Amino acid sequence: MRNIKLTGREVSVVRAIGFNDAMLGSEIQEYTRMEPEDVADTLNSLLSAGFLETVPYYEQVELEQMPTTSFEMNPAYAHQLKASLSRR
């Protein structure tokens, strides 16, 4: 098991999405109260690390796609992400 270290923005996004259901990008932005560009950058960093998955599948999300794309946690990393959040 690897030790995951998240930035403050990544923690905010992970907490917004949670571990149960998918969440639209617009809902994540509303929950975190971050600028759209910051949300898109943070989501892309979590996607590239493999921690998130999108519906429909994208390797990277453009700013225009972000509000209508659903994001969910990758179940393979759920345990490690929960542990990372509990250490904060």
Could you state, in order of their start, the residue ranges of all structural domains in the chain?
8-86
DSSP secondary-structure letter at 31? H
- Quick: pLDDT tens for 9-48: 999 999 999 999 999 999 999 999 999 999 999 999 999 9
Residue 52: the pLDDT is 96
Assigned CATH topology for domain 8-86:
Arc Repressor Mutant, subunit A (1.10.10)
Q: What are the E-state strand segments in 1-88? A: 23-24, 52-55, 70-73
Location of structure tokens 């998955």: 53
pLDDT of 72 > 70? The answer is yes
Q: How confident is the model at residue 60, as a pLDDT? A: 96
| End-to-end CA gap in the chain | 18
Instruction: Kindly report the pTM of this predicted structure.
Output: 0.92
Which residue is it, tokens 């946690």? 73
> 2-13: per-residue pLDDT in tens?
688 999 999 999
The type of residue at 3 is N
Q: How many Cβ atoms sit within 10 Å of the Cβ of residue 38?
A: 14
Q: Would you state the pLDDT for residue 88?
A: 66
